Structure 1
Amino acid sequence: MAGDLPDHYFRIRENGAAVFRVDTENRQRRIEMDQIAIVNVKNGEIRPHGDRALSEADIAAIRDWMAARTELLARRDIDDILRTVDHLNLTAHWAQSKATDAQLGAVTDALLLAMHDLRMVLVRRKAERMEAGPGEG
């Protein structure tokens, strides 16, 4: 089992993770996890935990994890937006074919304001990209 475990474990936290060094090389053959750092993905900060000294291998593993985590979160953001497009389509179908007048009355203003806000942002950002020129967006 020891060969299957990574050298580091990352306990996900908001904006980053607590980093633990995984140790199975002890007399009891138990898994021990020693917290060595706190990382913040948003600002790239790596703070050693307590008086721990981070090795080059620790720092390399943390940086690799941060890069992979940043990429994963970016992919999730796009996936969430594409799901929103699906939900908007399902909402349009619901409003057209299933919604009662009372249900529409309960959601229409909120939906219209949210869609208007989104449209204004998208149009403004598209105009900015077009002004920036080809290849900029």
Structure 2
Amino acid sequence: MAGDLPEYYFRVRDNGAFVFRIDPDDRQRRIEMEQIAIANLRNGEIRAHGDRKLTEADEEAIRDWMTDRAELLAARELDDILRTVDHLNLTAQWAQSKAGDLQLEAVTDQLLMAMHDLRSVLVRRKAERLMKERRDE
């Protein structure tokens, strides 16, 4: 089992992770996890835990994890948006074919406001991109 363990463990939190070094060679055959740092994805900061000094290998492993984590979160975010498109389509089908009057009354105003807000943002951002493209030509 000890050969299968990674050298570091990252306990994910909202904005990064607590970083632990794994020590599989404990005398009682338990896995010891020693916190060595805190990684902040938002500002890219790596702070050693307590009075600890991080090695170059520690910092490289943490930076690699931060890069991989940022890519994963970006992919998840895009996937969530694409799922939202699917949900909007399913909602339109539901409203057209299955929803009763009371159900529609319960959701129509909220849906219309959310869709209006989304449309306004998308149209404004698209216009900004088009204007930038014209300026760059």
Q: Same fold (TM over 0.5)?
A: yes
- Match for 2:28: what amino acid? Q
Q: Which runs of 5+ in 1 are unaligned?
A: none
Per the normalisation by structure 1, the TM-score is: 0.95
The one-letter amino acid paired with 2:68 is: A
Q: Secondary structure at the match of 2:18?
A: strand
> Which residue of structure 1 lines up, in the alignment, with residue 100 of structure 2?
100
Pairing of 1:73-88 with structure 2 (within 5 A):
73-88=73-88
Letter matched to residue 25 of structure 2: E
2:28 maps to which residue?
28
Identical pairs, percent = 73
1:131 lines up with 2:131 in the alignment: yes
2:60 match: 60
Following TM superposition, by how much is the alpha carbon of 1:24 offset from its aligned partner in structure 2, in angstroms? 1.4
**Residue deviations 1:61-116, cap 9 Å, x none?**
00000000000000000000000000000000000000011110010000000000
1:112 match: 112
> Is structure 2 residue 22 aligned with structure 1 residue 16?
no
Distance 2:122 2:48 in 1: 41
Q: Normalising to structure 2: TM-score of the pair?
A: 0.95
Cα distance between partner residues in 2 of 1:42 and 1:95 = 40
Deviations 1:31-90 (A, max 9, x none): 111000111111111111111110000000000000000000000000000000000000
More moved, 70-79 vs 125-134: 125-134
Q: What is the number of residues matched between the two proteins?
A: 135
Please state how far the C-alpha of 1:28 moved relative to its aligned partner. Answer: 3.2
Aligned residues: CA RMSD = 1.3
Shift of 1:30: 2.3
